[in-house]
Amino acid sequence: MPVAASAIYFLNLRGDVLINRLYRDDVGGNMVDAFRTHIMQTKELGTCPVRQIGGCSFFYMRISNVYIVIVVSSNANVACAFKFVVEAVALFKSYFGGAFDEDAIRNNFVLIYELLDEIMDFGYPQNLSPEILKLYITQEGVRSPFSSKPTDRPVPNATLQVTGAVGWRREGLVYKKNEVFLDIVESVNLLMSSKGSVLRCDVTGKILMKCFLSGMPDLKLGLNDKIGLEKESQLKSRPTKSGKTIELDDVTFHQCVNLTRFNSEKTVSFVPPDGEFELMKYRITEGVNLPFRVLPTIKELGRTRMEVNVKIKSVFGAKMFALGVVIKIPVPKQTAKTSFQVTSGRAKYNASIDCLVWKIRKFPGQTEPTMSAEVELISTMAEKKSWTRPPIQMEFQVPMFTASGLRVRFLKVWEKSGYNTVEWVRYITKAGSYEISWFQLLGLGKPCTTRLYQYAKQFDVTG
Amino acid sequence: MAPPAQAHRSPSPSQPSGKGEVSDLKSQLRQLAGSRAPGIDDSKRELFKKVISYMTIGIDVSAVFGEMVMCSATSDIVLKKMCYLYVGNYAKVNPDLALLTINFLQRDCKDEDPMIRGLALRSLCSLRVANLVEYLVGPLGLGLKDNNSYVRTVAVIGVLKLYHISAPTCIDADFPPTLKHLMLNDPDPQVVANCLSALQEIWSLEASTSEEASREREALISKPVIYYLLNRIKEFSEWAQCLVLELVAKYVPLDSNEIFDIMNLLEDRLQHANGAVVLSTIKVFLHLTLSMTDVHQQVYERIKAPLLTLVSSGSPEQSYAVLSHLHILVMRAPFIFASDYKHFYCQYNEPSYVKKLKLEMLTAVANESNTYEIVTELCEYAANVDIPIARESIRAVGKIALQQYDVNAIVDRLLQFLEMEKDYVTAEALVLVKDLLRKYPQWSHDCIAVVGSISSQNVQEPKAKAALIWMLGEYSQDMQDAPYILESLTENWEEEPSAEVRLHLLTAVMKCFFKRPPETQKVLGAALAAGLADFHQDVHDRALFYHRLLQYNVSVAERVVNPPKQAVSVFADTQSSEIKDRIFDEFNSLSVVYQKPSYMFTDKDYRGPFEFSDELGNLSIAAESADNVVPAQGVEANDKDLLLSTSEKEEIRGATFNVSGYSAPLYDSSAASVQSELAIISSTSAGSAPSSSLAIDDLLGLGLSAAPAPEPASVPPSLKLNSKAILDPGTFQQKWRQLPISLSQVYLPFLTLILF
Q: What is the mean pLDDT of residues B60-80?
A: 78
Q: Where are the beta strands (DSSP E) in B568-719?
A: none
Q: Which of B103, B5, B117, B105 is nearest to B60 (CA)?
A: B5
Instruction: Select from B56, B78, B380 the Cβ nearest to the Cβ of A19.
Output: B56
Confidence of residue B458 (pLDDT cuts 50, 70, 90): confident
Rounded (10°) angle between helices B134-145 and B175-185: 20
- Put simply, the answer to whether A142 touches B305 (Cβ < 8 Å) is no
Four-point Cα dihedral B679, B680, B681, B686, nearest 10:
80
Q: Which residue of B has its CA nearest to A186?
A: B313
Distance CA B155, CA B163 (A): 12
Q: What is the mean pLDDT of residues B231-245?
A: 88
In this predicted structure, what is the pLDDT of residue A244? 66
Please determine, for residue B550, whether its predicted confidence score (pLDDT) is greater than 70: yes
User: Regarding beta strands A321-330 and A275-284, do their DSSP bridges make them parallel or antiparallel, or are they unpaired?
Assistant: unpaired
Percent of chain B predicted with pLDDT > 70: 74
Q: Which residue of B has its CA nearest to A128?
A: B237
- What is the per-residue pLDDT across B649-707, written as a single tens digit (0 to 9) for each? 333 333 333 333 334 333 343 344 434 444 444 444 433 333 333 333 333 333 333 33
In this predicted structure, what is the pLDDT of residue B573? 62
Please determine, for residue A359, whether its predicted confidence score (pLDDT) is greater than 90: yes
In this predicted structure, what is the pLDDT of residue B53? 84
- What is the end-to-end Cα distance of chain A in Å, rounded? 58
A interface test, pick of B1, B239, B385, B389 with most A CB neighbours within 10 Å: B239
Sequence-ordered list of residues with C-beta below 8 angstroms from that of B252, at least 6 positions apart, any chain: B221
- Put simply, the answer to whether B317 touches A82 (Cβ < 8 Å) is yes
Which residues from B are below 8 Å from A10, CB to CB? Answer: none
Distance CA A386, CA A460 (A): 7
Smallest CA–CA distance, residue B591 to chain A, in Å, is 7
In this predicted structure, what is the pLDDT of residue A381? 53
Confidence of residue A357 (pLDDT cuts 50, 70, 90): very high
Q: What is the mean pLDDT of residues B536-545?
A: 91
* DSSP single-letter state for residue B427: H
Distance CA A429, CA A446 (A): 40
Q: What is the mean pLDDT of residues B77-102?
A: 80
Confidence of residue B744 (pLDDT cuts 50, 70, 90): very low
The domain locations on chain B are 465-573, 577-604
Smallest CA–CA distance, residue A52 to chain B, in Å, is 8
Sequence-ordered list of residues with C-beta below 8 angstroms from that of A350, at least 6 positions apart, any chain: A356, A357
Distance CA B196, CA A258 (A): 26
Please determine, for residue A227, whether its predicted confidence score (pLDDT) is greater than 80: no
- What is the per-residue pLDDT across B631-647, written as a single tens digit (0 to 9) for each? 333 334 343 443 333 33
Quick check: helix, strand or coil at residue A350? strand
Q: Which of A201, A198, A181, A178 is nearest to A190 (CA)?
A: A201
Instruction: Select from B113, B161, B607 the Cβ nearest to the Cβ of A144.
Output: B113
Please determine, for residue A404, whether its predicted confidence score (pLDDT) is greater than 60: yes
- Put simply, the answer to whether A161 touches B85 (Cβ < 8 Å) is no
Confidence of residue A29 (pLDDT cuts 50, 70, 90): low
In this predicted structure, what is the pLDDT of residue A396? 92
Specify whether the CB–CB gap between B41 and B72 falls below 8 A: no
User: Regarding beta strands A422-436 and A179-192, do their DSSP bridges make them parallel or antiparallel, or are they unpaired?
Assistant: parallel
In this predicted structure, what is the pLDDT of residue B745? 43
Which residues from A are below 8 Å from B114, CB to CB? Answer: 146, 153, 155-156
Distance CA B411, CA B413 (A): 5
Distance CA B591, CA B608 (A): 18
Q: Where are the beta strands (DSSP E) in B3-162?
A: none
Long-range contacts of the stretch B447-456 (C-beta < 8 A, 24+): B447/B411, B447/B415, B447/B471, B448/B475, B448/B478, B448/B479, B450/B415, B450/B418, B450/B419, B451/B418, B451/B479, B452/B479, B452/B480, B452/B481, B454/B418, B454/B426, B454/B430, B456/B485, B456/B488, B456/B489
Smallest CA–CA distance, residue A25 to chain B, in Å, is 6
In this predicted structure, what is the pLDDT of residue A405? 87
Please determine, for residue A341, whether its predicted confidence score (pLDDT) is greater than 70: yes
- Put simply, the answer to whether B308 touches A283 (Cβ < 8 Å) is yes
In this predicted structure, what is the pLDDT of residue B195? 92
- Put simply, the answer to whether B314 touches A86 (Cβ < 8 Å) is yes
Smallest CA–CA distance, residue B82 to chain A, in Å, is 7
In this predicted structure, what is the pLDDT of residue B157? 92
Neighbours of B407 (CB within 10 A): 19
pTM (predicted TM-score): 0.70
Number of A:B CB contacts under 8 A? 315
Q: What is the mean pLDDT of residues B412-435?
A: 80
Smallest CA–CA distance, residue A265 to chain B, in Å, is 13
Confidence of residue B544 (pLDDT cuts 50, 70, 90): very high
In this predicted structure, what is the pLDDT of residue B158? 92
- Put simply, the answer to whether B246 touches A2 (Cβ < 8 Å) is yes
Q: Which residue of B has its CA nearest to A56?
A: B602
In this predicted structure, what is the pLDDT of residue B606? 54
Smallest CA–CA distance, residue B429 to chain A, in Å, is 15
Confidence of residue B434 (pLDDT cuts 50, 70, 90): confident
Q: What is the mean pLDDT of residues B144-159?
A: 90
Q: Which of B103, B156, B111 is nearest to B127 (CA)?
A: B103
B interface test, pick of A56, A75, A129, A288 with most B CB neighbours within 10 Å: A75
3 state SS for B202-261: HHHHHCCCCHHHHHHHHHHCCHHHHHHHHHCHHHCCHHHHHHHHHHHCCCCCCCHHHHHH
Instruction: Select from B275, B351, B591 the Cβ nearest to the Cβ of A46.
Output: B351
Higher pLDDT, B608 or A53: A53
- What is the per-residue pLDDT across B563-593, written as a single tens digit (0 to 9) for each? 877 777 666 666 677 788 888 888 888 888 8
Instruction: Select from A73, A141, A155 the Cβ nearest to the Cβ of B149.
Output: A155
Q: Which of B281, B283, B188 is nearest to B236 (CA)?
A: B188
Higher pLDDT, B475 or B76: B475
- What is the per-residue pLDDT across B285-343, written as a single tens digit (0 to 9) for each? 998 888 888 888 888 888 888 888 888 777 888 888 888 998 888 888 888 888 888 88
- What is the per-residue pLDDT across A197-207, written as a single tens digit (0 to 9) for each? 777 788 889 99
Which residues from A are below 8 Å from B320, CB to CB? Answer: 48-50
Please determine, for residue B72, whether its predicted confidence score (pLDDT) is greater than 80: no
Residue A138 has φ and ψ, to the nearest 5°, of -110, 150
In this predicted structure, what is the pLDDT of residue B386? 75
- What is the per-residue pLDDT across B518-537, written as a single tens digit (0 to 9) for each? 888 888 898 999 998 888 88
Residue A120 is inside which H or E element, if any?
strand A120-121
- Write down the ipTM of this complex: 0.72
